[in-house]
Each structure stands twice: as structure tokens, then as C-alpha cells.
Amino acid sequence: MTSTQTPIHASFGAASTAEEVLGNTDLSGKTVIVTGGHSGIGLETVRVLARAGARVIVPARSLQRARDNLDRLGLGGVDAREMDLAAPDSVEAFAAAFLAGGAPLHLLIHSAGIMATPFTRDVRGFEAQFSTNHLGHFQLASRLWPALQRAQGARIVSVSSRGHRIAPVDFDDIHFERRAYDKWVAYGQSKSANALFAVAADRRGAADGIRAYSLHPGTILSPLARHLSAEEIASFGVHDRHGALINDPERDLKNVRQGAATGVWCATSPALNGLGGVYCEDCDVAPMAGGDGRRGVHAWAVDPALAERLWQVSAAMAG
């Protein structure tokens, strides 16, 4: 069973930063994996966790670019390793190498993703956004499960998006084999899958102390928008009339420090002890979505039956 989607009224909010959320928490001796940890909110997540003493591993498709970005942090305890979420053999190799070291894994943060890409398929013929945003992370978490168990108190954090409201998972045609491809529908489906993954992972892991969460980080102009036109970006209302980025967290317009906050909160906050399988936003458990569809989570993204169905489908796809 998933936990009830009811705000717990934590002491942070939309304007909180990742540093503020973490406070004086000491993560010495903790091992963390952050996909997408070399750019955007992932990089800020790595910076904050590493400064708190964690050993952080960043899997990346472009290893040199990841190392260059991480080196600029000037922090110890951060290691980049090669992995491509859309290539199952690459995910397998990364996970096998980590497991061979015998270390526990305390935090697994799924921050990598692509958005509104042109229609492409991975090496298996699967639609690229579903493959990268969900299926690669599913395979990674599944293979690393023994390391999460060894931690005796691990968390999995899946970065979803308010974009999940665009579309649920279409189990009849996940990979756009019969319906026309729509880049935003594909993105919305993958973000719904991220949230459903957390529901099912938490159900499986709670008895072993593995809790899972999904979240909306906020609207942040980041490398995630690299496939969008200037007109599409303008439609999001992220710039003022002078072209400067607007920072207005109450309107969901956040900077990178604020965008990383909810993920760090999900990963470390004691307020979530005993809770799991919930979708979060603004450093709190989100309510169910209201009529405007802007805040909260839609039922199709936290439904236990749909989460179980997605888990079974994903396991079959991942082999």
C-alpha cells in the first residue's frame, strides 16, 4: 500500500534551497548515486550532498563532460562513471561494477532525463523518453537492490515532474507503435512512470528499510530544455520583459538551488521517516491534484494497481 497523499506541513516551502533543507545533516559514511548529477539540479544535488560528507557517484553518458563539470565543484568524494540509461548493457555494466565492491547504497537519486525530444528509439526499439526517463532507471534500481538492502535504511528518489499531468502511461501503446508520436505526451507518460515507479518500489522495499519517493522540482530553465524552440520556452513565462529569468517560487518559477531542494528533502528529511511511495513538491508531500491541475499529483501517477502493472511491464522490457 502507498502512503496517503496528504501534506505533512514540513518546515520548508517553495522558496527553500537544497542547502537550507539539508542544514547541518552529516552524511559521512553514506554512499549516494545521482544520475544526471553533472548538470542542472542534479549537479546542485551532488554539490550539497558531497559538502555534507557523502561519497557521491555520478553515472554519465559523456564521462569527460561530467568530470569537467564536477571538477568545478572543487569537492572531494565525487566520482563520475560511464553509463547510458538508454543502453541496457551499459546500465548492467555500471551496476555490476558497483555491486562487485560490496558497498551499501544509502541513496539512489534518479535525476537524469530528457524532455520533448524528436521521435527516436533506443537500441531495443523502445521510445527514447520512456526508455531514458523510466526504463533505464528501473533497470538500475533493480540491479542495485542488494546494495540498497545492505544499507539497512535506504531511499530512492525519482525526479518526476508536474508534466506528469499531460498524460498517464498508455499501456496499450507505450512506444508509439500505433498512435502518432507527440513529444509532450511521451514526456508526460515518462513522468507518470517515474511517479508510479516510486509507488511500486516502496511497496517492495519497505520491509527491508528501502523507501521510495517521486517529486516535482519546480519549473527551472536548464539543459533539459535543449530540444525546445525559443517560442516554446517563451510560452512557459520564465523570462521577464527584459529577458531575465524570473524567480518566483510561489508561481513555481525556481532557480537551481530551489529546484534541487525537494529532491534533497526527499533523500534526507527525518520528517519522511515511516512514509514512502508518495509524490512530493515544494518540500512537502503533495496533495491530490485539484481542478486546475497545476498543483498536486493526478491519481493515475500514484495508483497502486497501475504501479504494479508498470513494474511487471518494465521487468519484461528490461529482461
Catalytic residues, which ones? Answer: 187
Cα dihedral sign for 8, 12, 13, 14? negative
Q: Are 67 and 46 in contact (CB under 8 A)?
A: no
Q: How far is CA 77 from CA 91, 140, 152, 268, in A?
A: 22, 21, 22, 18
For residue 220, give the 3-state DSSP assignment.
coil
Asked if 106 contacts 112 with a C-beta cutoff of 8 angstroms, the reply is no
Cα angle value 74/34/75 (rounded, 5°): 10
Rounded to the nearest 5 degrees, what angle is found at the Cα of 23, between the Cα atoms of 21 and 28? 115
- The dihedral region occupied by 120, where left means phi > 0, alpha psi between -120 and 50, and beta the remainder, is beta
Q: What does the angle CA 28 – CA 31 – CA 36 come to, to the nearest 5 degrees?
A: 120
